[in-house]
Amino acid sequence: MTAEKNTRLVRAAVKDLGFSYCGIAKAEKLDDDARRLENWLSAGLHGKMQYMENYFDLRVDPALLVPGAKSVITVLLNYFPKELQNDDAPKVSKYAYGQDYHEVIRGKLNELLFRLRAGIGEIQGRGFVDSAPVLERSWAQRSGVGWIGKNGNLITRKSGSFFFIATLITDLDLEYDDPFTQDYCGTCTKCIDACPTDAIGENRVINGSQCISYYTIELKDALIPENMKGSFDNWMFGCDTCQDVCPWNRFSSSTPELAFSPIPEVLNFSTKEWEELTEESFKKIFSHSPIKRTKLSGLQRNLHFIKEEF
């Protein structure tokens, strides 16, 4: 089969699996991204997320992940919810309203690879979603999906930024999309001005160790630093502030993916109900939710911290 036919098969399968976008880039070493990542890590902007220092070479060279890699397929999956939390509820980032996206997207990527092999023959490929050493946003930009905003998120003109990014690296010959070269943030600084902890710096450099998502999800310490009090704006798990104020997200539409339908407790639990959660109830309600990552002890730590702000 030719690259043209292969590409048509890829795009048809991606659409059939419910992904909202498909972009394809040539698999090559990301030299510029390697330098930026190295500088970011050297500056300690990843805080205590030591895992980001691991597998550096794998992050910037797809051939080390898939020998003979020729193409990187980027797909997006919208997660913007149909319903939002009650105004007085401890805030949860919208990506965590429903089922764990790792489980949902990993299944779709496996099915995508299965379909490609069924239609083309034996090919090598690996799918990645967030938890592997892949620079998803860089590949998305290289494949024409969108641009990296001042808040560090990938933004598209048609649907904003409330979506998951996943990649499939393969040794398949495909036709490549043109990279996205425009910057449609312009002079807007809404995300920078709105960030509760001033984590968004100049030149799209994000201080991960200052982000509310870092403190409420990644930080495993028993206590959140006292100097952060008064700046969490009632965020209990993650933070969407920089996305909520982004003008491009006026184009966001609710996801058709049923797996991302909000868990009723996420929408409706009061602070008191969150605080009274038992270990048994937590495991039952959030067994397939991203919220399980912080564990009940981490959630209670976060609740105690934001409760003291009011």
Tens of pLDDT along 32-61?
776 776 676 677 766 776 666 566 677 778
Q: Select which of 32, 33, 100, 130 is catalytic.
A: 130
Q: In this predicted model, what pLDDT tens digit does every residue of 259-275 receive, in sequence order?
A: 999 999 999 999 999 99
Distance of CA 233 to the CA centre of its chain: 21
Q: Does 309 score more than 70 pLDDT?
A: no
Of the given ranges (45-49, 148-152, 228-232), which has the lowest mean pLDDT?
A: 45-49
Domain ranges of the chain: 3-82+97-170, 190-250+263-307
pTM reported for the whole predicted model: 0.92
- What is the pLDDT confidence band of residue 1, given thresholds at 50, 70 and 90? low
Percent of the chain at pLDDT > 70 equals: 93
Residue 141, pLDDT > 70, answer yes
Q: What is the pLDDT of residue 45?
A: 62
Q: Can 193 be counted among the known catalytic residues?
A: no
